[in-house]
Amino acid sequence: MLAVIGENDRNVSEMNFSIYSQDKLKAIWREGNPFAWHLHLESAMVFTSDGTDIIDSLGEPSKYSRARADCLNFIDLFDSATTSIRMGTNSIHFELSTIFIAARNFAICYSFDKKSRPVFSRQAPLLLGEHSLRLPPTSYSTLERARILASRGIGDQIEKQQLNSTIEDLPKIRQWMARLMEGLTL
């Protein structure tokens, strides 16, 4: 849930909401940030104290034009987490969570260039049609579970066999990212 607050409003729980100021939302709208597009295309207002739907009132975000630069940043994030795993990290769930974020966000940014409508799902890498990530479902679900474990601290621990299998599949994700970068135009 997203809470859009005024400048002096501090009585919203950060434990229950992602909190953005109206000024921050306007800024991401001006830059055409994928999150602005996600809100514009898929959000639904649940409550407003004054009857104003701030998301609706912002109109359409600016065109997103940073897909190439953002995808390169997500490749760097992926590479950093992969290196940490190879070096013997003590935070395997955190590193796998980072890999999940890098792959998901890479796919979201890529979808702006290649799909008629951007894909915002946590399954985005698997939903790009002919450009989809080809990965065993258990490996992708392990990355998803690692994300929940690392960010929320809930869920069953991931078994060693699942971890090892997922780690063995990491080069497939990196190859997929490299392949898609070749055809990226934005």
The region that residue 158 occupies, defined by phi over 0 for left and psi between -120 and 50 for alpha, beta otherwise, is: beta
- The CATH number assigned to the domain with range 67-182 reads 1.20.120
Predicted confidence band of residue 11 (pLDDT cuts 50, 70, 90): confident
**pLDDT tops 90 at residue 115:** no
- Domain definitions of the chain by residue range: 2-57, 67-182
CA 62 to chain centre: 20
* pTM value > 0.85: yes
Q: Among 3-17, 90-104, 105-119, 172-186, which stretch is predicted with the lowest mean pLDDT? A: 3-17
The pLDDT value given to residue 52: 85
pLDDT in tens, 142-152: 999 999 999 88
**pLDDT tops 70 at residue 22:** yes
